[in-house]
Amino acid sequence: MSRALRAILEASGAGHGDRPDLGHGLDSRARTGFALSLLGLDRLALLREPGLCVSEEQAQNLEAAFAKLAQGMSPARILGRREFWSLDFEITPDTLEPRPETEILVEQAVALLADRPGARLADLGTGSGCILLSILSECPQATGLGLDLAPGAVETALRNARRLGLADRASFLVSDWFTALDQQNGRPRFDLLASNPPYIASAVVDGLPKIVRDQDPRLALEGGRDGLAAYRILATQGQDYLVPGGAMVMEIGFDQEASVAALFAQAGWRPGVCTRDLAGMPRTWVMHAGGV
């Protein structure tokens, strides 16, 4: 048995044209695009074949996906894919859904590497690998290592590297921050460390609505009692893994500009720029290894 895709879309509130958003979080065009992506069809499929039919199983999958959308789940989470830096990333339950504001970190990193063509970089808390792989896509001679405590994230990042054709310049390791690096022969040193660590205070994570809290792994969100646990480790240990003149670029929470700066100053780093996002909120800090 098969069913007309258009009828399923109409029933979900995803008809054609400019119907108003019926509360599923996406307007009608976006919902149609979402359904076509879910089916693995291109955006013109319905235009080419207005009477397009799908199998009963596909119809049920679509209806289930629209139900999740109506509950507030993000389209990327349902699709298991997210665009970041114009690249397509697989995401899994072990990885954060990459956020658009993290592209600022990539921008900063690419600028820092402009005069270091053969740079080596490490991405701490790599998740889907979106930061490391986006930087490598812009810096064709650079090589990088992505580290994450979650084995599932490391596996996902490796698949993303392979699919994006970057696996020859990217490697990944399961590691509790820098720990796995110390188990290697000779401590590696990098030109640049990048990190978007978990930075939300535990109590704030607990207070998030369940549908929001459950979309991303808790390990990717929770930064300890004050949200600064990961920055303390990055600040106190990071310089041991940098070449002279090396730098670290990090994403920070909107209210962490001063507290992160203080932690890094205390550990002897030289502050670079703190960049704001489109909403005017502090979003990334660049810190330079001290003594240069």
Ligand X SMILES: C[S@@+](CC[C@H](N)C(=O)[O-])C[C@H]1O[C@@H](n2cnc3c(N)ncnc32)[C@H](O)[C@@H]1O
Which stretch in 66-74, 126-134, 236-244, 282-290 sits in contact with ligand X by CB under 6 A?
A: 126-134
- Tell me which DSSP letter residue 222 carries: B
CB closer to ligand X, 198 vs 282: 198
Task: Tell me the C-alpha distance between 222 and 205, whole Å.
Answer: 7
With H, G, I as helix, E, B as strand and everything else as coil, classify residue 93.
coil
CB closer to ligand X, 70 vs 219: 219
Task: Tell me the C-alpha distance between 36 and 42, whole Å.
Answer: 6
Q: State yes or no: residue 238 binds ligand X (CB under 6 A).
A: no
What is the bridge-based pairing of β-strands 2-4 and 270-276? unpaired
Residue from 38, 136, 150, 234 in contact with ligand X (CB under 6 A): 150
Task: Tell me the C-alpha distance between 44 and 184, whole Å.
Answer: 51
Task: Tell me the C-alpha distance between 19 and 29, whole Å.
Answer: 8
Here the tokens at position 52 are 């397009």
C-alpha Rg value of the chain to the nearest Å: 21
Distances in Å between the alpha carbon of 131 and those of 103, 196, 270? Answer: 8, 8, 23
CB closer to ligand X, 205 vs 243: 205
Q: State yes or no: residue 144 binds ligand X (CB under 6 A).
A: no
Q: From edge to edge, which strands make up the β-sheet containing 270-276?
A: 170-174, 143-148, 120-124, 190-195, 242-251, 282-288, 270-276
Residue closest to 178 by CA, chosen among 131, 136, 125: 125
Task: Tell me the C-alpha distance between 39 and 3, whole Å.
Answer: 13
Q: State yes or no: residue 96 binds ligand X (CB under 6 A).
A: yes
Here the tokens at position 120 are 């080596």
- The site for ligand X, by CB under 6 A, has a size of 22
Q: State yes or no: residue 196 binds ligand X (CB under 6 A).
A: yes
With H, G, I as helix, E, B as strand and everything else as coil, classify residue 142.
coil
Q: State yes or no: residue 205 binds ligand X (CB under 6 A).
A: no
**CB of 172 vs ligand X, minimal distance in Å:** 11
Q: State yes or no: residue 148 binds ligand X (CB under 6 A).
A: yes
Which stretch in 16-24, 31-39, 127-135, 163-171 sits in contact with ligand X by CB under 6 A?
A: 127-135
Binding string, residues 244-273; x marks residues near ligand X by CB under 6 A: ------------------------------
Q: State yes or no: residue 219 binds ligand X (CB under 6 A).
A: yes
Here the tokens at position 242 are 């940098």
**CB of 61 vs ligand X, minimal distance in Å:** 27
Residue from 149, 158, 204, 274 in contact with ligand X (CB under 6 A): 149
CB closer to ligand X, 11 vs 174: 174
Residue from 13, 75, 125, 246 in contact with ligand X (CB under 6 A): 125
Which stretch in 180-188, 192-200, 207-215, 257-265 sits in contact with ligand X by CB under 6 A?
A: 192-200
Q: State yes or no: residue 153 binds ligand X (CB under 6 A).
A: yes
Q: Would you tell me which residues interact with ligand X (CB under 6 A)?
A: 96, 98, 102, 125-128, 130-131, 147-150, 153, 175-177, 196-198, 219-220
